[in-house]
Amino acid sequence: MSEDITRVGVAGCGVMGAGLAETCARAGLDVLVLARTAESAARGERRVLKSIGRAVETGKLTEGERDAALAALKFTTDAADLHDRQFVLEAIVESEPEKSALFKELGDHVTDAHAIFASTTSAIPITRLAGAMNRPGRFIGTHFFNPAPVMRLVEVTASLLTEDDVVTRTEAFVTGVLGKEVVRSQDRAGFVVNTLLVPYLLAAVRMVESGFATAEDVDKGMTLGCAHPMGPLRLIDLIGVDTVVGAGRALYEEFLDPSCAPPALLLRMADAGLLGKKTGRGFYDYR
Ligand SMILES: NC(=O)c1ccc[n+]([C@@H]2O[C@H](COP(=O)([O-])OP(=O)(O)OC[C@H]3O[C@@H](n4cnc5c(N)ncnc54)[C@H](O)[C@@H]3O)[C@@H](O)[C@H]2O)c1
């Protein structure tokens, strides 16, 4: 008999990991965040403090709720410390070898036979990641959206090997405990949202690359003309140029559709470290 999920591990504390850690801590869970180094843990903690501070300033959270959430949040750089976790949410870099190596390690450390291992990959097939660990039946995709504390959607993706109770417990956890909405997707690179979104984002990059229109005008077109809350280039900056490149590559590999192939401009931006908001510069300057 599996117990209620109260002890959560979050692997990675970049944009998504910090957001997921905050989301889980605000839901009253005991959260242990796995960072690669002490410096990235400190950076992740600063991200959470900033975001949760904003939630207090805007009246979404009381100071008492903030303090309780922060008290529930711990950091480590040793994967073995996650041994007692019931649900591990992985949000490390979008790299199949890195994620596979981490899940292999986590599978050896986590002791609960009912534990669930969830990846928030944007486009790597869940079946492939599941196959890299010793408990493929306990593996599932939970694709959250950025910023995780605010965005309500989670795409839930079972692999061909995921056990039924993993799907039902994950959906109950994500909706009942974290307060999100779920859509189910087959295990296809990009799931529902990115399969539609990424070709659109890349088409906007090609427009800028070819001089068809400026980034500002493309974004203005889509915000004022289509009532999108944000234009595609600003959205790439928010998601992260490297993450969009990774998602495009995975979609291209799956569907061989040229509209999913990352344009050279985006590849060069990734090479140059112009990754968007998280590095201070992308299509726009945030410094
Ligand atoms: N950014 C988005 O909008 C978004 C949305 C949904 C899903 N995702 C997915 O979330 C994941 C993370 O993306 P991100 O935007 O947060 O990237 P990011 O670059 O901001 O953060 C990645 C973090 O992972 C850490 N890391 C790398 N290897 C690690 C390891 N072995 N152990 C622990 N930490 C490790 C890095 O130090 C970094 O802090 C990716 O799979 C991405 O596809 C991102």
User: Which 3 state secondary structure label does DSSP give 141?
Assistant: strand
CA pseudo-torsion sign 240, 176, 171, 114: positive
Q: What is the mean pLDDT of the chain?
A: 96
Q: Mean pLDDT, to the nearest integer, of 169-173? A: 98
Name the pLDDT band for 124 (thresholds 50, 70, 90). Answer: confident
Q: DSSP secondary structure string, 134-169?
A: S-GGGEEEEE--SSTTT--EEEEEE-TT--HHHHHH
- Measured in Å, residue 17 CA sits from the centre of ligand 1 at 6
Among the listed residues 175, 185, 207, 192, the one whose alpha carbon sits nearest the alpha carbon of residue 141: 185
**pLDDT of amino acid 75:** 97
User: What is the H or E stretch that residue 7 is in?
Assistant: strand 7-11
Name the pLDDT band for 76 (thresholds 50, 70, 90). Answer: very high
Q: Mean pLDDT, to the nearest integer, of 247-273? A: 96
Among the listed residues 259, 256, 250, the one whose alpha carbon sits nearest the alpha carbon of residue 128: 250
- Measured in Å, residue 229 CA sits from the centre of ligand 1 at 24
Q: Is the CB of 14 under 6 A from ligand 1?
A: yes
In this model, does residue 170 exceed pLDDT 70?
A: yes
In this model, does residue 122 exceed pLDDT 90?
A: no
First and final C-alpha spacing in the chain: 52
* Residue bearing the bigger pLDDT, 96 or 274: 274
Give the residue numbers marked as catalytic.
Answer: 122, 143, 155, 194
CB 73 within 8 Å of CB 21: yes
Q: Which of 243, 244, 245 to mutate to test the pocket of ligand 1 (most atoms within 8 A of CB)?
A: 243
Q: Is the CB of 240 under 6 A from ligand 1?
A: yes
pLDDT over 90 percentage in the chain: 93
Q: Is the CB of 35 under 6 A from ligand 1?
A: yes
Q: Mean pLDDT, to the nearest integer, of 177-190? A: 96
Instruction: Compute the distance between CA of residue 103 and CA of residue 117 in angstroms, rounded to an integer.
Output: 8
Name the pLDDT band for 130 (thresholds 50, 70, 90). Answer: very high
In this model, does residue 1 exceed pLDDT 70?
A: no
Domains and CATH numbers, the chain: 7-184 (3.40.50.720), 192-279 (1.10.1040.10)
**pLDDT of amino acid 94:** 85
